[in-house]
Structure 1
Amino acid sequence: MLIVGSIIGALLFYFQHSPVLGWGGISEVPLSKVVIVMILGFFLIPVGKGLDIRGWNEMFPLNGATWTLFFEEIANISYALLLRHLPAFVLGIFATIAAGFTIHYALTNPAGDIIGGWALDDPQQLKIGFIRVAFPFLAGLLLARTIKLKYIKNAFLYTGLLLILILSIPRIGGNEQPWQNGLYECFCLVVVFPFIVWLGAGGKVEGKAKQVSQFLGDISYPIYITHYPVIYLFYSWVVNNGYSFNKAWPAGLLTAIVSLALAYGLMKLYDIQLRAWLRNRFLSAKNKVALSKSL
């Protein structure tokens, strides 16, 4: 899906020309440069300003959302080389330190949030990226190592309501007191989200709720890694024409539907089929059984 997302980004790039936003078109960006950025995206290799063909200072200009996978890749490499060998006590120390960095940045950042991390050659952006991945990753490892699951009736309902509540309040406080939102984001990140993970892991989902949960889980990554190029297209269309919300919302709804349909089609026709072929081609029978149980 990473490869497909980069290909879609390259195919749609020349339809996203926006003089207002400063995005170059086919007459301003050589095809060879687009191909290079696309191939680098295949291998999750970030680029600096020299290959920033969009001009937004993104490390993956054709599919901006990929930047989070770059930091997740670093986290997974650190797990393979070091973190999996550490005792829970040491992981707890690291998670506490990571939480401290998160809280410090959120409370001292003039914007009062923890947004950023997508630029390769900006030290501040890299700092934000590492801060954003550090605590969630370490906290997840710590939860998996130390917390005993307890069956909780209606956990699916409770976690759903908590997520709706948190996501419906994206920000609190005004521009004059940004620390309030910084504190709120830290509370959600350090307390609420780990609690939701624990609560959900102790629940049992059956019937239609299980089917819905399975579908949402399966399609979440395909949507994430393919929707951004479509969003670029919609955004450039709105800005180039100066449309207000009243004029743009039908196209926005269509964009959401297209993104969902595209992700679903690629998941069914490409991702699932390719994963099955790779399992049959490269995994032993024992590993296949272990993988099927984990899924």
Structure 2
Amino acid sequence: MTQTQTETLKPKQHFEILDGLRGIAAVAIVIFHFMEIVHPPSENFIAHGFLAVDFFFCLSGFVIAYAYHDRIDKMKISDFFKLRLIRLHPLVIFGSVLGLLAFLYDPFGGHPETYETGKLILIFLASVFLIPFPVMADRYFNLFGLNAPGWSLFWEYVANILYALFLYKLSRRLLFLLTVFAAIGLCFVSHRAGGSLLGGWSGETFWDGFARISYSFLAGMLIYRSNWIIKSKLGFIGLSILLLLAFFVPFSDFNWLTEPIIVLLYFPLLIILGAGATLKPGFRKLCVFLGNISYPLYMTHYAAMWIFANYYTKYKPETNELTFVVITGTIILVGIAYLTMIFYDTPIRKYLTDKRKKV
């Protein structure tokens, strides 16, 4: 690490504004998932909310490089994997359980009786162990039919494995070249998909997920390794507005241009600015809260989306009722995420961490 990096990125510094932005992105993707059930992309006011996943990937690359670059050489690779499993997998399991319960006991419909018990067990186990298994036709062949967001966690795990095996060893020059190649790959995927980066979640678009994480994760790493940190006075509110603008970009014939620009340039720039921004004390608790609930919210919300889809299909609610349901539903899902964090995720991770230290 250079002297400049030492000064800019102090040991154990916590990027609370970036945590807050991650929470904003998680809430945005919940609202996007509500709205995509109701409206086609051209009528969806948060049409590009799905790009929050690319923001997560870029932020993940930055945070992993920051957290492990200077110490992974001194660790056993098995210890790195244990740390990542403890951090990520409890909510993978919890989200799968919620997804199964919602599938079996959806009050508004669904047809669990059409699935043989053996097949349902396989679907559940695949979800728990993050093994892509796109067999549920009534759920658009999602890679993980019981908990759709698992697709991005699958690729997150792949990126973490590749990081521990060789990515961290790359020189900055090689990392830059690899990022450029990944950017070309992302543009190719966008072009092949008709100008959209919406893929990665289904069996048919499986490899789109690889393209999406390849660029964004590498770009996040490159930001840290290159010390691309820009001091700014934007603060949490200013950066939140800039992030939300990306999600509110209308779906149009120019997606082939706007989506790659957002992912290739805009999100990395926001992370560069966010890492160098100063957080006002009054926003600290909000950023910590948003950061803490972001991952639980992301991994627990989708069970409710299938229930909402069946409710919408059955009752066709008017706009006023729909607005109330989406707003109330989002607030409730944030509350569920918070309770999940307090009573499940934090205690489980603490228990597993303590147990690992005793071994």
TM-score (norm: length of structure 1): 0.84
For the Cα contact (< 8 Å) 1:48–1:119, is it kept in 2? yes
Please say if residues 106 and 183 of structure 1, whose CA atoms lie closer than 8 Å, have aligned partners that are also in contact: no
Question: Counterpart of 1:160 in structure 2: which amino acid?
Answer: S
**Match for residue 159 of structure 1 among 233, 239, 245:** 239
Runs of at least 5 residues in structure 1 that lack an aligned partner in the other structure: 285-295
> Which one of the candidate residues 136, 149, 165 is aligned to 2:229?
149
Q: Which residue of 2 aligns with 1:119?
A: 202
In the other structure, the counterpart of 1:287 is none
CA contact (8 A) 2:134 2:141 kept: yes
Match of 1:48 in 2: 134
Identity, % of aligned positions: 29
Question: Where does residue 116 of structure 2 map in the other structure?
Answer: 30
CA distance in 2, matches of 1:256, 1:156: 21
Q: Tell me if 1:278 matches 2:349.
A: no
Residue 202 of structure 1, aligned match among 265, 273, 276: 276
Question: What's the secondary structure of 2:120's corresponding residue?
Answer: helix
Q: For residue 319 of structure 2, what is the aligned residue in structure 1?
A: 245
Deviation at 1:148, TM superposition (A): 4.6
Q: Distance in 1 between matches of 2:222 and 2:316?
A: 48
Q: Retained in 1: the 8 A contact 2:235–2:280?
A: no
Q: How many residues are matched?
A: 269
What does residue 98 of structure 2 align with? 8
With structure 2 as the length reference, what TM-score do the two structures score?
0.69
Query: After superposition, what is the alpha-carbon deviation per residue over 1:215-242, rounded to whole angstroms, capped at 9, x for unaligned?
Result: 1011000000000001110111111233
Contact 1:231-1:255 at 8 Å conserved across structures: no
Partner of 2:211: 131
1:291 equivalent in structure 2: none
**Alignment pair present for 1:230 and 2:304:** yes
Equivalent residue number for residue 289 of structure 1: none
* Matched residue type, 1:71: W
Query: Aligned-pair distance for 1:127?
Result: 2.5
Is the CA contact (8 Å cut-off) linking 1:54 and 1:61 kept in structure 2? no
Structure with greater Cα Rg: 1
Seen in structure 2, the aligned counterparts of structure 1 residues 148 and 135 have a Cα distance that, compared at 3 Å, is closer
Write the distance in 1 (CA, Å) between the matches of 2:325 and 2:115: 27
> Where does residue 59 of structure 1 map in the other structure?
143
CA–CA distance in structure 1, aligned partners of residues 128 and 304 of structure 2: 18
Query: Counterpart of 2:188 in 1: which secondary structure?
Result: helix
**Corresponding residue SS for 2:337:** helix
Q: CA deviation at 1:150?
A: 4.6
Distance 1:61 1:233 in 2: 13
Letter in 2 for 1:200: G
CA deviation map 1:76-109 (0-9, x unaligned): 1111112111111111111001111222332453
Secondary structure of the 1:205 match is coil
Tell me the equivalent position of 1:93.
177
Q: Which residue of 1 aligns with 2:74?
A: none
Higher relative contact order, chain-length normalized (CA < 8 Å, sep 6+): 2
User: Which residue of structure 1 lines up, in the alignment, with residue 258 of structure 2?
Assistant: 184
Does 2:151 correspond to 1:77?
A: no
TM superposition shift of 1:170? 4.2
| SS of aligned partner of 2:229 | coil
